[in-house]
């Protein structure tokens, strides 16, 4: 009879042993796991949490491979956000710094990020008392077309000597051809302004209203990519509105006439019209 001889395992002397502190935190996690899972319901909840953590580790490796490779953060020790390990805290921090502002408005160490909300980069119009003095002038210009409020005209008259009677009346609705114009130069940045103040850009970071319609997100690949791409696009659109501030500083009347003409007639004013507006 031939006896099977178990092959002796070779020792990998170069293998790194888990540091004592990490092994200690792992043991504590295991004991906590054993202590709270005395029934099937709690066990299922714990398994769901483990699966959720593994998904986030997968996204860490996928979106930040170099940071994952070089990370020394613990898988077991709790981080600043105490419901998560140091390693997941590092992942959240990378998302916040390199993809989109995950932490905006959330500074509670007990915060849960299983489902998370985002804060709009746009101006809330439904609940806030708007102080026009504190707005970028481009936003105040845009609100003229949304509200046509006498208070906004007073703001421009007091600060820029622009009077309502010196300009054409703003139509209640934009010209139907406005949205079909080729997006170039001033037409593009002015039209983007109309969409931003109206919260109709199609971008989740600009169309969300914080006090009314929070959008809840889960950790999926599609959501991470969507939020990162939308955030880049949103910041680019907001940067474009800063160009309107610069143009307005140079020639306030001309810029306002541009906007009214584009809104009412889907065209920029003729040179003679602009000159007449500037000279008033």
Question: How does DSSP classify residue 117?
Answer: E
Q: Which domain holds residue 274?
A: 132-208+229-279
Is 120 inside any structural domain? no
- Does one domain contain both 238 and 189? yes
pLDDT, the chain, mean = 83
Is 47 inside any structural domain? yes
Greatest CA separation for the chain: 112
Rounded to an integer, the average pLDDT of 108-116 is 87
- The partner residues of 217 in beta bridges, in order of sequence, read 116
CB hemisphere CA count around 62 (13 angstroms): 12
Please give the pLDDT value at position 251: 93
**Domain termination site, one of 113, 141, 156:** 113
- How many structural domains is the chain composed of? 2
- Is residue 227 within 8 Å of residue 100, measured between CB atoms? yes
Rounded to whole angstroms, the Cα distance separating 103 from 108 reads 10
- Is residue 196 within 8 Å of residue 237, measured between CB atoms? yes
Rounded to an integer, the average pLDDT of 38-54 is 67
Name the band, by pLDDT with cuts 50, 70 and 90, for residue 226: very high
Is 189 inside any structural domain? yes
Please give the pLDDT value at position 216: 84
Q: Is the pTM of this model over 0.85?
A: no
Is 223 inside any structural domain? no
Which has the minimum average pLDDT: 59-73, 120-134, 173-187? Answer: 120-134
Which has the minimum average pLDDT: 45-49, 88-92, 204-208, 262-266? Answer: 45-49
Which has the minimum average pLDDT: 19-33, 53-67, 76-90, 99-113? Answer: 19-33
- pLDDT tens per residue across span 235-279: 999 999 999 999 999 999 999 999 999 999 999 987 655 555 555
- Does one domain contain both 165 and 242? yes
- Does one domain contain both 136 and 186? yes
Is 34's pLDDT higher than 60? no
The two tokens of residue 263 are 């809104």
Is 238 inside any structural domain? yes
- Does one domain contain both 152 and 258? yes
Is 31 inside any structural domain? no
- The partner residues of 85 in beta bridges, in order of sequence, read 78
Which has the minimum average pLDDT: 6-20, 190-204, 224-238? Answer: 6-20
């Amino acid at each position: 009879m031939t006896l099977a001889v178990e092959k002796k395992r070779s020792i990998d002397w170069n293998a790194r042993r888990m540091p004592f502190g990490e092994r200690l935190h792992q043991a504590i996690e295991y004991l906590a796991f054993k202590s709270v899972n005395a029934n099937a319901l709690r066990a299922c909840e714990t398994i769901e949490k483990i699966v959720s953590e593994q998904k986030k580790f997968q996204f860490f490796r996928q979106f930040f491979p170099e940071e994952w490779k070089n990370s020394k953060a613990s898988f077991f020790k709790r981080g600043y956000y105490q419901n998560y390990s140091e390693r997941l805290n590092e992942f959240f921090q990378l998302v916040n710094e390199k993809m989109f502002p995950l932490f905006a408005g959330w500074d509670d160490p007990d915060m849960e990020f299983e489902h998370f909300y985002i804060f709009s980069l746009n101006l809330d119009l439904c609940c806030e008392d708007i102080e026009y003095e504190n707005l970028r002038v481009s936003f105040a210009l845009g609100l003229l077309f949304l509200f046509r409020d006498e208070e906004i005209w007073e703001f421009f008259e007091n600060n820029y000597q622009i009077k309502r009677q010196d300009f054409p009346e703003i139509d209640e609705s934009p010209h139907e051809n406005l949205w079909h114009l080729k997006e170039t130069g001033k037409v593009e940045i002015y039209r983007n302004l109309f969409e931003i103040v109206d919260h109709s850009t199609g971008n989740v970071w600009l169309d969300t209203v914080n006090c009314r319609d929070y959008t809840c997100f889960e950790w999926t690949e599609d959501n991470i990519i969507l939020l990162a791409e939308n955030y880049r696009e949103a910041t680019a659109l907001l940067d474009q509105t800063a160009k309107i501030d610069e143009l307005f500083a140079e020639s306030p009347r001309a810029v306002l006439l541009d906007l009214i003409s584009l809104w009412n007639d889907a065209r920029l004013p003729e040179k003679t019209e602009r000159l007449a507006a500037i000279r008033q």
